[in-house]
Structure 1
Amino acid sequence: MYKYDDYDRKLVSERVAQFRNQTERFLAGELTEDEFRTLRLQNGLYIQRHAPMLRVAIPYGMLNSSQLNSLAYIADEYDRGYAHFTTRQNIQYNWPALENVPDILEELSKVEMHAIQTSGNCIRNTTSDPFAGIAKDELVDPRPYCEIIRQWSTFHPEFIHLPRKFKIAVNGALEDRAAVQVHDIGINLSRNEAGEAVAQVLAGGGLGRTPVIGSVIKNNLPWNELLTYIEAIMRVYNRYGRRDNLYKARIKILVRALGPEEFAKQVEAEWQHTRGGVSVIPQAELDRIAAYFTAPTYEQFDEAQVAKLQQQIAGLREKHRGFDRWLIRNVREHRQPGYVAVSISLKRPGIAPGDATSAEMRLVAKLAEQFSFGELRVTHEQNFVFSDVALQDLFDLWSTLKDNNLAMPNIGLVSDIIACPGGDFCSLANAKSIPIALGIQEAVDNMDYQFDLGDLSLNISGCINSCGHHHIGNIGILGVDKNGEEWYQVTLGGRQGNEASIGKVIGKSFYAEDVPGVVKTILQTYVDNRFEDELFIDTLDRIGLEPFKNNVYPNKEAA
């Protein structure tokens, strides 16, 4: 993974010192709330419902064990012993004292981390495929390009005060695991007939108040012109984005207003002024960055050795049902013979989705050192991934995880719920998310039942900003306010990936206590109507919304 150079270290160090001074001046009454607001947002600091919230960047989801240990230390020393991993591959602390935030930022700088541009109207943390570099279907490793975008966008003077926040995702595989179609800019990397890396660029995607699937505005963009083309998009957006209306300020509104073809035409015209300019990526720079993302020193296994290891694992699967289930749901193929990628679920019964205690973080850091070359990834589904685990280590890894309540075999199942912190913490939320998630987890707690249901995504957001990505869940749940009461709207049919789509509202919203029962009714409707081995989303596509609505609203109250 990328290592800071002298420039990075100096930049982050100076930023910490600057914010320390700004915080001291605010606490001394020398800066007003309005003056301090912009300064704290530039450093990832929000004022939430009960306390400040600090959001820390995990660039394209990559962490090493030292960094995770530092995050655990911060949770103990400056928070309440836990933290929340988000759908933006970030981590959030919900209880830091304002006067301690500069100290937290200094601790982060020691392990090459920061909170710069994790909030505010700027380019946020660039996200990517958590299986980058090891996936069998990968065409181009997206991580060097993500790092180049990170460096280019950090403190870019032209794009530090955009009309609204701005999010970029980069994918380099046949399967889109980065949700590029619901980002302000989505990038699909591939190779042309000459074997050169090229990019397909999408613009105008996003969730929130107006969910939109992004539009392709450029194909076969040469890799070295990636930044010049992004600059052209940003300049068109910066010029014409709605600064007069917060709810119409995202680029998706501009693309919709102009139409994708006209927007692409204007970007192309702007690009004629930027292409070939100072932001062209030199081959030497790409090579320099890419050198940080080389494969670890794998043990070499021949076919016979791999077959023997697989046979040993098969024997263990017969003896340990939990191990068998964990292998089915949490282990993924690897391009290196004798290795796999392992997902560690942060969706345990009775625990808020995406939360991890400091003790759990330290354990995961230790296991990453022992089993995955000291590195791990954070997914936008709010889980961990060990990208490089040898087959011979799988049982030992599972055994340790099981002993510490971290071996939940539910990746991609209905209890693998994506959820924002909601009204328990966020001042923007209309309703709580965590109690709803816990109620649904309890309602579907039987693992036989979950395995029978198969792949099924369920996402929860506490407000229309859609931090829980409810629009692209097969089942989506949105907290809404009705006369000061918390209600929940249900959507069906959303999905992410290559065939991304936005879910449709099924009808009137529900009381909080009714939501788990509503979900169970939806699931039973699927079971009653599915063909053999048919997934939930496929059954829904085939039979439509009406059977689900008829069962959820037996008295025809959906309208």
Structure 2
Amino acid sequence: MYRYDQYDHLIVRERIAQYRDQVRRRIADELTEAEFLPLRLQNGLYMQRHAYMLRIAVPYGLLASRQLRMLAHIARKYDRGYGHFTTRQNIQFNWIELEQTPDILTDLSSVEMHSIQTSGNCIRNITTDEFAGVAADEYLDPRPFCEILRQWSSFHPEFIALPRKFKIAINGAHEDRAATQVHDIGLTMVKNEAGEIGFRFLVGGGLGRTPIIGSVIREFLPWKHVLTYTEAVMRVYNQYGRRDNKYKARIKILLKSLGVEEFARQVEEEWADLKDGPETLTEEELARVAAYFTPPAYEQLENIDPLAAHADNKAFAKWLERNVKPHKVPGYASVVLSLKKTGVPPGDATAEQMDFVADMADQHSFGELRVTHEQNLVLADVKQSELFEVWTKIKAKGLATPNIGFLTDIISCPGGDFCSLANAKSIPIAAAIAERFDNLDFQYDIGDIELNISGCINACGHHHVGNIGVLGVDKDGSEWYQVSIGGAQGDNAAIGKIIGPSFSAVQMPEVIGRLLEVYVRDRTEDERFVDTVQRLGIAPFKDHVYATPIAAGELVGEDEYA
């Protein structure tokens, strides 16, 4: 994985020293909160309901075991013993004291980590497939391009004060596991008829207040032009994106107002002055960065059936089916560690669990691990012969719930328990739904289904693209929840449709139950929930949900996480 060079170390050291002085001046009241706000946001520090929240960058979701141990140390020393992994493959700490933040950043720098550009109107953390480099269906490893874009965008003087935040995702596999269609820029690696590698270039995707699927502005861009073409897009956005209204400031609004053809024309016009310029990538530069992502020392192994020696172990078999993914190297597999055990807020991991996972990475996965945008962790390079041992160990730590892709593999933001922007709590809703449907036999019968929860319209829980999406809304000062169905991420990304009036918190588990009843009643063989919704439309689901009143009851876990 990538290691800092002398420039990275210098930049981070100087940023920490600068920030330490800013904190000192804020504590001494030499800076007002209004003056300090943009300075702290440049370092990933937010003020939330109860305390400061620090968001730490995990570039393209890749962590070394030593870095995860440092995150465990921070959770233990500066927070309340846990961290929250996010849908942008980062980690957040929710109980941070301002005075300690410079020391946290210093600790992070010792393992080549930082919190730069995890907030603010800049290019945020660049994300990719959590199985990048090991996926069996991969065309080309996207991580070198992620790193090239990270280096290019960090402290870029032209794009450090954009009209609004900006998000980029890159996918290098046949299946889009990076959600490229709902990013400001979505890059999909493709081959043309001559066998040359390039990018299918999408612009203007995004969720939030105005959810939109991205539009293709170039079907094939040779890889060497990825920086210059991205810069052309950014220049058009930076010049014409709205700054008078933050709700209309994203690039998706600009693209929609101009139209795809006119936007693309302006990009091409801007690119004419950049094409073949000094930022054009060379074979040598790509090879230099790609050298950081060389494959580990795989052994020459044959594929085996891990279940053969444990044929009577049904629990192990279920885990293999849901949590173990194919690997491009014979004899190896990728293991997803579920952070969705019932009773635990989705995406949360304790310091003890982080230390444990770091040890597992050292023992079984060449000292590396991944963060998924579904808020789970991955050991990417596990020998098939060691899968039973791995399962036994992680089961003891609550990380082996065989629910990846199932109903209880819920994506959720922290919501109103922490976030000052939230209209409603997310965690208790996730807990109540997980408790209601905590039956693996039932989940296996229901099959693949994505349930996403956001506490506000900013959509940090990606509710728009959930097969079932739940959005917290304010209704006369009370917390209510709007439900949409039919959303999807990946190759066939779609925005869900709202089924009708919102529900109270205590009604939500029954609402989900009624939606599933329609699916079970009307599905065809091998049809997923989202397929049934897209075939039938929302009408039968809406009719059944609202047919009779839903009684109020007690919400599981309502006060547990406050």
TM-score, normalised to structure 1's length? Answer: 0.97
CA shift, 1:299, in A, is 1.1
The C-alpha deviation readout for 1:123-165, integer Å capped at 9, x for no partner, is 0000000011111111121000000000000000000000000
What is the rounded CA distance, in whole Å, between the counterparts of 1:161 and 1:275 in structure 2?
A: 24
**Alignment RMSD:** 1.1
1:493 aligns with 2:486: yes
CA shift, 1:533, in A, is 2.2
| Uncovered stretches (5+) of structure 2, i.e. residues with no partner | 551-562
What corresponds to 1:426 in structure 2? 419
What corresponds to 2:208 in structure 1? 208
What is the rounded CA distance, in whole Å, between the counterparts of 2:294 and 2:470 in structure 1?
A: 40
What is the rounded CA distance, in whole Å, between the counterparts of 1:315 and 1:554 in structure 2?
A: 51
What is the rounded CA distance, in whole Å, between the counterparts of 1:540 and 1:159 in structure 2?
A: 41
What is the rounded CA distance, in whole Å, between the counterparts of 1:18 and 1:320 in structure 2?
A: 57
What is the rounded CA distance, in whole Å, between the counterparts of 1:24 and 1:201 in structure 2?
A: 44
What corresponds to 1:315 in structure 2? 309
What is the one-letter code of the residue matched to 1:185?
I
What corresponds to 2:142 in structure 1? 142
Q: How does 1:93-492 map to 2 (within 5 A)?
A: 93-302=93-302, 306=303, 309-310=304-305, 313-316=307-310, 318-492=311-485
What is the rounded CA distance, in whole Å, between the counterparts of 1:30 and 1:277 in structure 2?
A: 45
CA shift, 1:10, in A, is 1.0
User: Which deviates the most, 45-54 or 293-302?
Assistant: 293-302
What is the rounded CA distance, in whole Å, between the counterparts of 1:319 and 1:83 in structure 2?
A: 37
Equivalent position SS for 1:274? coil
| Uncovered stretches (5+) of structure 1, i.e. residues with no partner | none
What is the rounded CA distance, in whole Å, between the counterparts of 1:456 and 1:397 in structure 2?
A: 26
What is the rounded CA distance, in whole Å, between the counterparts of 2:244 and 2:534 in structure 1?
A: 39
The C-alpha deviation readout for 1:3-35, integer Å capped at 9, x for no partner, is 111111111111111111111111111111121
What is the rounded CA distance, in whole Å, between the counterparts of 1:257 and 1:542 in structure 2?
A: 31
What is the one-letter code of the residue matched to 2:26?
F
Work out whether residues 54 and 94 of structure 1, in 8 Å CA contact, stay in contact via their aligned partners in 2. Answer: yes
What is the rounded CA distance, in whole Å, between the counterparts of 2:198 and 2:526 in structure 1?
A: 37
Work out whether residues 140 and 191 of structure 1, in 8 Å CA contact, stay in contact via their aligned partners in 2. Answer: no
1:505 aligns with 2:498: yes
What corresponds to 2:559 in structure 1? none
What is the rounded CA distance, in whole Å, between the counterparts of 1:193 and 1:265 in structure 2?
A: 24
CA shift, 1:545, in A, is 1.0
Aligned residue-pair number: 550
Which runs of structure 1 show a deviation greater than 2 angstroms over 4 or more consecutive aligned residues?
191-196, 312-315
CA shift, 1:556, in A, is 9.8
CA shift, 1:284, in A, is 1.3
CA shift, 1:330, in A, is 0.4
Work out whether residues 307 and 317 of structure 2, in 8 Å CA contact, stay in contact via their aligned partners in 1. Answer: no
Work out whether residues 530 and 539 of structure 1, in 8 Å CA contact, stay in contact via their aligned partners in 2. Answer: yes
The C-alpha deviation readout for 1:56-91, integer Å capped at 9, x for no partner, is 000000001000000000000000000100000000
Of all paired residues, the percent bearing the same amino acid is 63
The C-alpha deviation readout for 1:341-376, integer Å capped at 9, x for no partner, is 110110011100000000000000000111101100
What is the one-letter code of the residue matched to 1:164?
R
What corresponds to 2:558 in structure 1? none
CA shift, 1:555, in A, is 5.1
The C-alpha deviation readout for 1:265-301, integer Å capped at 9, x for no partner, is 1111111111111211222111010001111101101
Equivalent position SS for 2:96? coil
What is the rounded CA distance, in whole Å, between the counterparts of 1:481 and 1:543 in structure 2?
A: 30
Work out whether residues 347 and 408 of structure 1, in 8 Å CA contact, stay in contact via their aligned partners in 2. Answer: yes
What is the rounded CA distance, in whole Å, between the counterparts of 1:401 and 1:74 in structure 2?
A: 22
